[in-house]
Amino acid sequence: METVAHHDRETAYEVADREADGPTICFVHGSGGTRSVWKSQHRIASHAPIVTLDLSGHGESDDVEATPGFTTLSAYADDVIAVAETTDADVLVGNSLGGAVVMHILLERREALDVSGAVLTGTGARLGVLEDLRWWLEHDFDRAVEFLHEPGRLFHDPDPHMRAASIAAMRECGQAITNRDYLTAHEFDVRDQLHRIDVPTLVVYGEHDRLTPPWFHEYLADEISDARLVDIEAAAHLSMLERPKPFNEALVSFLESV
């Protein structure tokens, strides 16, 4: 693990590089997660250098004082930009809220980072969160965690070890940060701006994802001018973790085209 200092805090990141000559890829996790959600993508480090980071307040990264919504989204974008600049990453991959962070950078912060491609997975142009889930996140965190780990949400049909590890990771992230993440996602809406994204984009979704359903991704692919759409069968929201082989194959194919 390494860290980069910026904006009075340190952001933790990890690099996997097997002397690959492909573009360096920076992976951004979603709500209540850490860089460990991308552990299976280290397998493609022979094709391209892999960079995974912990957003502020997650994993090994310092937290930031930020209210939910645009302020938090902008702070998370600062984390990604700092790590990407340090590692010379020029392809951004974002899952869920991480996808919102990537889209925010592409739409609002392009002058800060030279990006040659993007991958959006388990995400959408608008990320409204169910009212019940928002209530549970604030008042009954255990219920929220259990809800998110029911079939068709984070996972379609995971093995018990994977599900247990995900639950433990979300609880370690904690109620305050996870709640801030989901409230930030709830306020995110760039449906009228997607046409301004001007880099090649891969949109990947799990066929059983009920948190960000397939049509969320179809909308992204329709509205972004240079986008392709890939369906990962037998997976839900975290397809890169649940079905890493087809996810990685789609990613490598995209990288070759970029």
CA 77 to CA 83: how far, in whole Å? 10
**pLDDT confidence of residue 20:** 83
C-alpha of 97 from chain center = 6
pLDDT over threshold 90, residue 22: no
pLDDT tens column, 150-186: 999 999 998 899 999 999 999 999 999 999 999 999 9
Single-letter code of the amino acid located at 25: I
Label residue 256 left, alpha or beta by phi (over 0 means left) and psi (-120 to 50 means alpha): alpha
pLDDT tens column, 140-150: 999 999 999 99
**pLDDT confidence of residue 8:** 96
Residues in a beta bridge with 6: 9
Share of the chain above pLDDT 70, in %: 100
CA 140 to CA 172: how far, in whole Å? 15
Cα–Cα distances in angstroms (integers) from residue 218 to residues 136, 155, 198, 211, 213, in the given order: 29, 20, 17, 14, 9
Q: In what order do the strands lie in the sheet with 25-28?
A: 2-6, 9-16, 50-53, 25-28, 91-95, 117-121, 201-206, 227-232
> CATH number for the 2-257 domain, one of 3.40.50.150, 3.10.450.50, 1.10.10.10, 3.40.50.1820?
3.40.50.1820
Overall average pLDDT of the 42-62 stretch: 96
Domain definitions of the chain by residue range: 2-257
Unique residue bearing structure tokens 């590890």: 165
pLDDT tens column, 85-132: 999 999 999 999 999 999 999 999 988 899 999 999 999 999 999 999
> Taking the CA atoms of the chain, what radius of gyration do you get in angstroms?
16
Element (H, E) at 23: none
What does the DSSP 8-state code read for residue 125?
S
Q: In the structure encoding, which two tokens stand for residue 222, read together?
A: 């329709």
Query: Are the C-beta atoms of residues 63 and 177 closer than 8 Å to each other?
Result: yes
Letter string b/e over residues 57-77, b meaning 16 or more CB atoms within 10 A of that residue's CB: bbbbbbebebebeeebbbbbb
Q: In the structure encoding, which two tokens stand for residue 21, read together?
A: 């000559």
